[in-house]
Structure 1
Amino acid sequence: MDYRRQWRPGGCYFFTHTLLDRTQTLLSDQIEILRTAFRLVKKRYPFFIHAVVVLPDHFHCLLELPQGEHDFAIRFRLIKMYFSRALAIQEPRNTCRIRRRERGIWQRRYWEHLIRDQQDFLNHINYIHWNPVKHQLVKLVLEWPYSSFHSYVALGWYPLNWCGDTQNSGFINIGGDDG
């Protein structure tokens, strides 16, 4: 298959990274290891996370690269590598994975989308924050602890009960008026 990535210096991207075994709960079980991996990579290869949610078997994030930087792939390769190396080897690995020194924790491919405009940006932030409800992990967005939703509530961009009742079911309009 021919995968074509859009490399835009200073670009803002939506990503989905998924565990190979979708029945595992490694990401939420080992959240501190994942957070440490993000911090370590960010020191060497800066980026800004606008929104993130970590679910048991995958995570979504809206990440912006510094001006002049376009290589998001190295950032995620290192994040996944640091996370994997911090875990004891317990997963089955075939000879191909052993030869490539792959752990067999992550899917090789990932989803990436270059954000086109402000509406696309807002849609993806909302998608990220709604994801734990979509996957039926919680009934209310505010119940999921591994999400930037709580930071957005603290900033006043979401009400605490966002999408939890009929009065507050709309999506955010960051930095704009309510209309």
Structure 2
Amino acid sequence: MPKFRKSLRLPNYDYTRPGFYFVTVCVQDRACLFGECTDGVMQANSAGHMIERTWLELQKHYARAETDRFVVMPNHFHGILVLKDAVSMNSVEALGHGLPEIVRAFKSFSARMVNSLNRTPGLRVWQRGYYEHVIRGEQDYLRIVEYMENNPAKWSEDSLNPSNVMA
């Protein structure tokens, strides 16, 4: 019998709506592909820097997308994506391109870049799916920014740190 996955998305929410979205994407099998945290500071390797560049370049490919704060961790990524209102854009720029499409593109573009760098064509880089949170106001935004800024310093306690997974 097939296993059904519970959706993490808000029921009946339109993810093409303008707004601020917090996204977390995790590496397959928690592999630390993007660098390491040393003394509370993230030291990104070449793959980690590619993740940064891919994130920042999303706004070149998607007119409604604006990248905000982000952090690359050894085996996951957190970022805030802003979807701008399409009213001021021409109809071609305003088409679709909601959060799911943009995150899919980020995962696809970055996986190709990492696999090219590591000479591992076709290797699965990211876990299926992603976590998202619709940011609901300034306090919510500030809480998330603080979380991201403190994430490297709390790596030793992070649930995504492979050292914290019980065998």
Which of 29, 32, 43 pairs up with 1:24?
32
Question: 3-state DSSP class of the match of 1:14?
Answer: strand
TM-score with structure 1 length normalisation?
0.62
Which of 111, 122, 126 pairs up with 2:146?
126
Cα distance, 1:44 vs. partner? 1.6
- Rounded Cα–Cα distance in structure 1 between residues aligned with 2:149 and 2:48: 17
Q: 1:18 to 1:43 in 2, by over 3 A?
A: same
Q: 1:62 to 1:39 in 2, by over 3 A?
A: closer
Cα distance, 1:129 vs. partner? 0.5
- Rounded Cα–Cα distance in structure 2 between residues aligned with 1:80 and 1:33: 12
Higher RCO structure (Cα 8 Å, ≥6 apart): 2
Give the structure with the larger strand fraction.
2
Q: 1:103 to 1:42 in 2, by over 3 A?
A: farther
Cα distance, 1:122 vs. partner? 0.8
Gaps (5+ residues) in structure 1? 92-101, 138-179
Q: 1:61 to 1:40 in 2, by over 3 A?
A: closer
* Structure 1 partner of 2:68: 50
TM-score with structure 2 length normalisation?
0.66
Within 5 Å, give how 1:140-155 maps onto structure 2: none
CA deviation profile, 1:156-175 (whole Å, cap 9, x unmatched): xxxxxxxxxxxxxxxxxxxx
State which structure, 1 or 2, has the greater radius of gyration over its C-alpha atoms: 1
71-80 vs 61-70, which moves further: 61-70
| Same amino acid, percent of matched pairs | 28
Query: How many residue pairs end up in the alignment?
Result: 127
Cα distance, 1:130 vs. partner? 0.7
Q: 1:136 to 1:41 in 2, by over 3 A?
A: same
